[in-house]
Amino acid sequence: MTEITPEQMEKYKRQAMAYAKKATPPPTEPTASAPPPEAPPDVPALPQGTLRVQTFAARGAFPVRDAEVVVTENDTVLYRLKTNSSGIAEGIILPAKNTDLSQEAATAQDSGMQYTVTVHHPDYASATRMIEIYTGVESLLPIELIPKRKGGY
């Protein structure tokens, strides 16, 4: 897997922030002549969705804290983060395709962007899942982790 460079991540963050500002401008006092804020011309607005990963063991009875969550697209690492005490990794903002594509039979299969999510924890077997992300949607990906046996697998 290739990791995304800090420069690429910074560029993506700028694009995502510009898109978020354009999509949800801050509330302002109404004025007759003030134009709406625009994204800088060199940063195209990208459709995006969000991902929340929830890790657990024992059929949901126990959250798995400090699990490493790695989100990739085509072997490029986009995010690498740890789950919190509730077993959740959140704040994952990802590019997504326009959901209008899902309304037509010819393009329905192309309506989401597909990502690979892999979860690692020293006490559990690693788990990998695929997920599609859609514009304007927060996707929840529950991942059950299976404890390793004493002495390893």
Instruction: Name which residue leads in pLDDT, 9 or 80.
Output: 80
Average pLDDT, the chain: 77
More confident residue, 135 or 80: 80
Q: Which residue matches tokens 């007759």?
A: 32
Tens digit of each residue's pLDDT (9 = 90 or more) over 5-48 = 677 666 666 666 555 555 444 444 444 444 544 544 554 557 88
Question: In terms of Cα–Cα distance, which of 73, 76, 67, 75 is closest to 119?
Answer: 67
The pTM of this model reads 0.64
In tens, the pLDDT along 53-65 reads: 999 998 878 999 9
Q: Is 87 exposed, middle or buried (CB count within 10 Å of its CB: 0-12, 13-18, 19+)?
A: buried
Domains of the chain: 2-16+45-144 (2.60.40.10)
Smallest CA-to-CA distance from 114 within 101, 102, 131 is with: 131
Cα–Cα distances in angstroms (integers) from residue 38 to residues 22, 94, 96, in the given order: 6, 21, 21
Read off the pLDDT of each residue in 97-114 and give the average, rounded to a whole number: 65
Q: How far apart are CA 141 and CA 149, in angstroms?
A: 25
Which pLDDT value is given to residue 134?
A: 85
Q: Is the pLDDT of residue 75 over 80?
A: yes
- Is the distance from CB of 54 to CB of 109 less than 8 angstroms? no
pLDDT at 4 over 80: no
pLDDT at 137: 87
Listed in sequence order, the residues at least 6 apart from 3 whose beta carbon sits closer than 8 Å to its beta carbon are 76, 77
User: Residue 135 has what pLDDT?
Assistant: 85
pLDDT reading at 51 higher than 90 = yes
